[in-house]
């Protein structure tokens, strides 16, 4: 019988891709089934907006203190929840005291969800001096104390199974009906090679810049980056678009080729291929590094492309720049892959079963 679900999450509602595409897009489905859903973020909007700004140390510290205060009050409300869902962590910094209290003192079962290799250090240079407060080691305990664990891919699930046998793989999914519900135009006059992501991951583009410089000598195209900060690449084709939630889909839709370069490291192995999924859902040809889950999402030359060496990247992008029909064909195959394997429609019932 439906009851109350508490989502205990790091970020304010609607602000973080990991939340938007892991569980937020299923909330209305849960409500339609009769569940009362409450989302309780660690950070409020004010603290979240200042967190990645330069300086503002006092504001950040005060915001974090307020966040812990809200979490403390929330602990006394958890008894009325029929289901507790923890995404990543109950508190963005510090040891897993809150998770321990829920599991061992309140003796409440919870679902634990994660979509990155968050047990490994990974932090913004803006807040580098505070990164030790993250207590990355706590992830294994959050997993160990959970009743159920949901992981974004097999690599993450394999890590989780070391500490908990009840692990399910639920990939990051795309709402192809209400959100990513348009297509790019592959016949536009000038092709647009695009990338989207935060400034913390734009480092992966460094390996592709020499390839794009060579392509500029033979082709007239735009290289467009959608991000929260301008990486200021020295390319004549380069354009920067500030990321905004309101224009996210319209901005992405302009791409005709979407790239997702990665490096072969353990952090990248844990990524869920979200950039590629977004590109493919809009009929954009995805060109991705053959790292981690990317090799499961893309079948090279059928629904996208996998490129590893600079020569492979150059050859692949060259072919796509020269052939609009090829872009359209591969883009449509990619869209079909999303609808069948990585869409909200494909996983809705599976997701709802978590709360039975």
Residues 43-61: tens digit of each pLDDT = 998 888 887 677 778 888 8
Q: Is residue 283 part of a domain?
A: yes
Does residue 302 share a domain with residue 239? yes
Contact criterion met (CB below 8 Å) for 340 and 347: no
Question: Do the strands 192-196 and 222-227 form a parallel or antiparallel pair, or are they unpaired?
Answer: parallel
Domain of residue 233 covers 192-341
* Angle (nearest 5°) at CA 190 between 246 and 194: 45
φ, ψ at 338 (rounded to 5°): -65, -45
Does residue 286 share a domain with residue 143? no
Does residue 52 share a domain with residue 157? yes
The pLDDT value given to residue 325: 94
Q: Is residue 356 part of a domain?
A: no
Tell which wins on pLDDT, 137 or 201: 137
Q: What is the CATH number of the domain that holds 210?
A: 3.40.50.2000
Percentage of the chain modeled with pLDDT above 70: 96
Q: pLDDT grade, residue 314 (50/70/90)?
A: very high
Q: Is residue 184 part of a domain?
A: no
Does residue 41 share a domain with residue 100? yes
Does residue 109 share a domain with residue 51? yes
Q: pLDDT grade, residue 130 (50/70/90)?
A: low
Q: pLDDT grade, residue 122 (50/70/90)?
A: low
Q: How many domains would you assign to the chain? A: 2
Does residue 89 share a domain with residue 237? no
Does residue 196 share a domain with residue 299? yes
Does residue 77 share a domain with residue 207? no
């Amino acid at each position: 019988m439906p009851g109350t679900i508490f989502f205990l999450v790091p970020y304010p509602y609607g602000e973080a891709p990991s939340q938007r595409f892991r569980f937020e897009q299923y909330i209305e489905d849960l409500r339609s089934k009769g569940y009362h859903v409450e989302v309780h973020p660690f950070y409020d909007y004010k603290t979240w907006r200042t967190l990645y700004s330069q300086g503002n140390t006092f504001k950040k510290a005060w915001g974090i203190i307020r966040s812990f205060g809200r979490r403390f009050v929330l602990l006394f409300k958890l008894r009325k929840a029929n289901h507790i869902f923890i995404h990543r962590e109950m508190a963005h910094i510090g040891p897993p005291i809150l998770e321990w209290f829920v599991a061992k003192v309140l003796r409440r079962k919870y679902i634990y969800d994660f979509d990155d290799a968050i047990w490994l250090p990974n932090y913004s240079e803006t807040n580098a001096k505070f990164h030790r407060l993250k207590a990355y080691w706590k992830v294994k305990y959050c997993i160990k104390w959970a009743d159920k664990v949901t992981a974004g891919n097999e690599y993450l699930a394999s890590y989780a199974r070391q500490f908990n046998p009840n692990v399910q793989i639920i990939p990051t999914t795309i709402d192809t009906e209400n959100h990513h519900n348009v297509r790019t135009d592959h016949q536009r006059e000038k092709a647009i090679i695009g990338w989207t992501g935060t400034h913390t991951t734009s480092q992966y583009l460094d390996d592709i810049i020499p390839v794009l410089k060579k392509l500029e000598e033979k082709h007239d195209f735009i290289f467009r980056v959608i991000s929260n900060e301008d990486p200021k690449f020295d390319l004549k084709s380069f354009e920067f678009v500030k990321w905004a939630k309101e224009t996210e889909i319209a901005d992405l839709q302009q791409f005709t080729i979407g790239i997702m370069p990665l490096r072969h490291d353990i952090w990248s192995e844990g990524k869920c291929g979200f950039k590629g999924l977004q590109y493919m859902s809009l009929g954009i040809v995805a060109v991705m590094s053959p790292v981690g889950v990317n090799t499961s999402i893309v079948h090279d030359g059928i629904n996208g492309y996998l490129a590893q060496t600079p020569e492979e990247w150059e050859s692949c992008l060259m072919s796509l720049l020269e052939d609009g029909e090829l872009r359209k064909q591969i883009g449509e195959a990619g869209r079909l892959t999303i609808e069948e394997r990585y869409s909200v429609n494909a996983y809705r019932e599976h997701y709802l079963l978590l709360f039975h």
